[in-house]
Amino acid sequence: MLLSLILIAACVAADAQVVEPQNLAPNPSFEHGDRYGPSSWETRPAPGSISEFEWVEGIARTGRRSLLIHSEEEYSISDRWRGGYDRSINLQPGTEATLSAWVKTQDATGQAHLQLYIIGPVPRGEREGEILCQQTGGSVSGTSDWTRISLTVTVPERSCYVMPYVGLRGAGMAWFDDVELIGTPATPMPAETTYEPRHFEELEGYEMVMRSNRYVLQAPPGLAHATASVPFYDATARWDVTFRYLDEPDGASTFRVLVNGNEIGSVVADAVEGGPNDPDEVREVTFADVDIQQYSTITIVGEQNEGEYARIVALQFRPVGTFQGEELSPERLSPPPNLRIYQSPFQRNEASLMLIRQYWQREGQDFAAVSREIEKLQTPEELRAYQERVRARLPEIFGRWTGESGSPLNPQKVGAIELDYCTIEKIIIESEPGLYVPIHVYIPKNKPLPAPGVCVTMGHSAAGKQYRLYHEFGLGLAEKGYVVVALDPLGQGERTYWNEPPEELGAKGGPVG
């Protein structure tokens, strides 16, 4: 009797330990992300679409977040969100896989639905892999509460990676949550990767220098040949290997690229004509269908004639299929010992982004908190009180204001441009004593003054406030009746510094030219 009870208890325990299938969908409830949107998901609007895509907070089946598509009309194809674009998901060929999600709709004249793209190898000469399957399934229209939709596919042969989609075809609104992809996982096709000069770990004769605004590996003149080697930390696969080099005008260098000591190709860099003072050019050559195992040693051998440097720019690897070569034993492919936590260049780059991603996540949370606070405002009195609180906080955030510090601006008007609808005044102010800031002030004509003001701070253009897009932005605001102040940040426009000032500026060239 006791034995029977023990056996029954064992069976019950075994049944209780049913393993839940792994959900392969990335960030399935859309809870993670930053100010740029949900992690691992991106928008795929239809051609010509002006639909709204939103990472919604406060409408969700579980958690706090969902994905929204809000469309005013029907386009040639669906508006969609997609995951897996980083090639991080793959399914075992010949097995079944089910994609499901929960959808909530409002006034949907078309269909809210799912799609599963299964992508094969990249055809020669193409950037994207062949689409092996793009099955659509599930359909919800009209106005409905959260409803589960799903589709099931048989994974075709040659699958390299898969991408789940959620979409809306037609006008209306659709929210999506709790995506689930259940199937037999397989190793996905790896992403493209680039090995730059800083990644090469064994240098014989080569050294890393700055050349033509980029780091390169170069061998000094007179050296018969030099070698640069790097362990291949990425996945075992078939790759197209693109070698990028500097072609110099005054001679010829010969490069040979080897994988585990076996040459996969070579190139003679002698296509650029000219003399020693003429600029060199970045050239490239691609060696196709190279089978490379993880931890293989990639070596570049550079040979130069007199006056040449055999300069290396980068090695780029693009996956084109599964590994079909002869596999070497792990003993022959063991990477050299080192103290790195992250081995591959891709992992190191991802690790280098941890801080900024944390910042983006915090920033996204702050933006969401501000939006929630603004949405609670119901009356003009509440709005004015909110504005006063914001104004009171600004000095705490940005520090002291000019005027409060006792530093006069000392404005100097040095010119003006008259247009039909505004005047652009050229003014120099002192943000601190002796620190000059050139600004453009766009003053609208035929509009009431004083007017609302906008301070335009510049971004990525070396031309600063003179850059066409920034200038057009100021003109557009002035035409609408705003007064606009556009300034040059330090290091841009008229506030460029030089380590060695051009001769015409003199030895004491300052931040204002």
Whether residues 199 and 175 share a domain: the answer is no
What's the pLDDT score for residue 500?
Answer: 62
Q: Do 206 and 325 share a domain, yes or no?
A: yes
More confident residue, 221 or 217: 217
CATH number reported for the structural domain that contains residue 277 in this entry: 2.60.120.260
- Residue 483: left (phi > 0), alpha (psi -120 to 50), or beta? beta
For residue 406, the model assigns a pLDDT of 60
198 and 176 within one domain: no
Model confidence pLDDT, tens digit, residues 456-471: 887 777 788 888 888 9
User: Tokens standing for 87?
Assistant: 């090639």
Q: Please tell me the predicted confidence (pLDDT) of residue 463.
A: 80
Confidence of residue 276 (pLDDT cuts 50, 70, 90): low
Average pLDDT value for residue range 344-352: 79
In which domain, by residue range, is 221 found?
193-334
**pLDDT at position 14, please?**
45
Burial class (CB in 10 A: 0-12, 13-18, 19+), 38: buried
| Alpha-carbon gap, residue 54 to 444, rounded angstroms | 35
Q: 287 — phi, psi (to 5°)?
A: -105, 115
User: What domain count does the chain have?
Assistant: 4
Name the one residue in this structure whose structure tokens are 């992992």.
347
- Same-domain check for residues 199 and 157: no
Q: Which CATH number belongs to the domain containing residue 462 in this structure?
A: 3.40.50.1820
More confident of the two residues 179 and 464:
179
214: tokens are 């980029």
Quick check: 350 pLDDT over 90? no
pLDDT value of position 513: 37
pLDDT for position 488: 86
Residue 42 sits in the same domain as residue 100: yes
Given a cut of 90, is residue 150 above it in pLDDT? yes
User: Which residue, 144, 159, 182, sits at the end of a domain?
Assistant: 182
Answer yes or no: do 45 and 146 share one domain.
Answer: yes
- How confident is the model at residue 291, as a pLDDT? 94
- Return d(Cα 6, Cα 64) in angstroms, integer: 45
Distance of CA 503 to the CA centre of its chain: 40
Q: Distance between CA 315 and CA 192 in Å, rounded?
A: 11
Model pLDDT, residue 387: 93
* Token code pair at residue 509: 């060239």
Same domain, 74 and 208: no
Q: 12 falls in which pLDDT band (50, 70, 90)?
A: very low
Question: 369: pLDDT confidence band, cut at 50, 70 and 90?
Answer: confident
Residues 146 and 270 in one domain: no
Residue 392 lies in a domain: yes
| pLDDT of residue 162 exceeding 80 | yes
Query: Hey, what are 349's tokens?
Result: 């780059």
Whether 363 and 449 map to the same domain: the answer is: no
Q: Give the per-residue pLDDT at 505.
A: 53
**Structural domain ending residue among the three candidates 348, 369, 398:** 398
User: What is the C-alpha radius of gyration for the chain, rounded to an integer number of angstroms?
Assistant: 30
Higher pLDDT, 452 or 513: 452
Q: Is 338 a residue whose pLDDT tops 90?
A: no
Residue 511 lies in a domain: no
Contacts by 125-132, CB closer than 8 A, 24 or more apart? 129/160, 129/161, 129/189, 132/156, 132/158, 132/159
Is 89 part of any domain?
yes
Per the domain annotation, does 75 fall within a domain? Answer: yes
pLDDT at 511 (0 to 100): 52
Q: What is the mean predicted confidence (pLDDT) over 91-98?
A: 96
Q: What is the pLDDT of residues 484-503, one digit of tens each?
A: 999 988 777 777 766 665 55
Give tens-digit pLDDT for 395-436. Answer: 777 665 544 556 788 999 999 999 999 999 999 998 888 888
How big is the CA angle at 157 (ends 156 and 159), to the nearest 5 degrees? 80
pTM, entire model? 0.57
* pLDDT band (50, 70, 90) for residue 126: low
- Candidate from 57-71, 127-141, 263-277 with smallest mean pLDDT: 263-277
Identify whether 9 is part of a domain. Answer: no
Residue 166 to residue 367: CA distance in whole angstroms: 26
Are both 201 and 274 inside the same structural domain? yes
Bigger pLDDT: 214 vs 70: 70
Q: What is the pLDDT of residue 124?
A: 62
**Within a domain: 363:** yes
Q: For residue 200, is it within any domain?
A: yes
Q: Could you tell me the CA-to-CA distances from 129 to 121, 159, 308, 444 in Å, in that order?
A: 5, 10, 39, 53
Residue 4: per-residue pLDDT: 55
Same domain as 487, residue 444 = yes
Contact 253, 286 (CB under 8 A): no
| Residue-averaged pLDDT of the chain | 85
Same domain, 273 and 222: yes
Q: Is residue 453 part of a domain?
A: yes
Mean of pLDDT values over 501-513: 51
